[in-house]
Structure 1
Amino acid sequence: MPMKARPSVLHTWVQSAGGPLIAVPGSELNDWAGVDDNDGPVETWGDYGRACAVEGYVGLVVVGAQHALVLGDEPAMTTYLATERLFVRWAAADSETELVAAARRVLAGEPDWDDDEDLRWEVREPVVLFDSAIPGAEVEPGDRLVVDLDPGEYRVRATSTKDEDNWMILVHLQPTS
Structure 2
Amino acid sequence: MVRYAEPGAVEWVESGGGPLIAVPETVLPFWTGADGEDADSDYDRACEVDGHVGLLPVGDATALILGDEPASTTYLPEHGTFVRWCAADSEDEVLAGVPAALDTAEWQPEVAWNVPGPVLLFDAAWPGDASERAGRVRVALDPGRYAVRAAEARPGPETWLGLVRLRRIDGA
Q: TM-score, normalised by structure 2?
A: 0.90
- Please tell me whether the aligned partners of residues 34 and 43 of structure 2 are also in contact (alpha carbons under 8 angstroms): yes
Are 1:26 and 2:25 an aligned pair? yes
Query: 5+ unaligned residues in a row in structure 2: which ranges?
Result: none
Aligned residue identity for 1:172:
R
Deviation at 1:89, TM superposition (A): 0.4
Q: Considering only aligned residues, what root-mean-square deviation do their CA atoms show, in Å? A: 2.1
Deviation at 1:147, TM superposition (A): 0.3
Are 1:134 and 2:111 an aligned pair? no
Counterparts of 1:6-155 in structure 2 under 5 Å?
8-36=7-35, 44-107=39-102, 109-115=103-109, 118-140=110-132, 143-155=135-147
**Structure 2 residue matching 1:30: 3-state secondary structure:** helix
Are 1:169 and 2:138 an aligned pair? no
In 2, the alpha carbon distance for the partners of 1:158 and 1:27 equals 25
- Please tell me whether the aligned partners of residues 5 and 144 of structure 1 are also in contact (alpha carbons under 8 angstroms): no
Q: Any idea what the Cα deviations from partners look like across 1:82-104, whole Å, max 9, x if unmatched?
A: 11110000100011111111112
- Please tell me whether the aligned partners of residues 4 and 14 of structure 1 are also in contact (alpha carbons under 8 angstroms): no
Q: Any idea what the Cα deviations from partners look like across 1:17-69, whole Å, max 9, x if unmatched?
A: 0000000000111000000269xxxxx54000010010000000000000000
In 1, the alpha carbon distance for the partners of 2:134 and 2:6 equals 8
In 1, the alpha carbon distance for the partners of 2:66 and 2:82 equals 9
Deviation at 1:125, TM superposition (A): 0.9
In 2, the alpha carbon distance for the partners of 1:139 and 1:102 equals 29
In 1, the alpha carbon distance for the partners of 2:80 and 2:124 equals 21
In 2, the alpha carbon distance for the partners of 1:84 and 1:65 equals 28
Query: 5+ unaligned residues in a row in structure 1: which ranges?
Result: 39-43
Are 1:158 and 2:150 an aligned pair? yes
**Structure 2 residue matching 1:12: 3-state secondary structure:** coil
> Please, which moves more after superposition, 29-38 or 49-58?
29-38
> Please, which moves more after superposition, 134-143 or 14-23?
134-143
Deviation at 1:106, TM superposition (A): 2.0
In 2, the alpha carbon distance for the partners of 1:148 and 1:99 equals 22
Deviation at 1:110, TM superposition (A): 4.4
- The alpha-carbon distance between structure 1 residues 121 and 32, as it changes in their structure 2 partners (threshold 3 A), is same
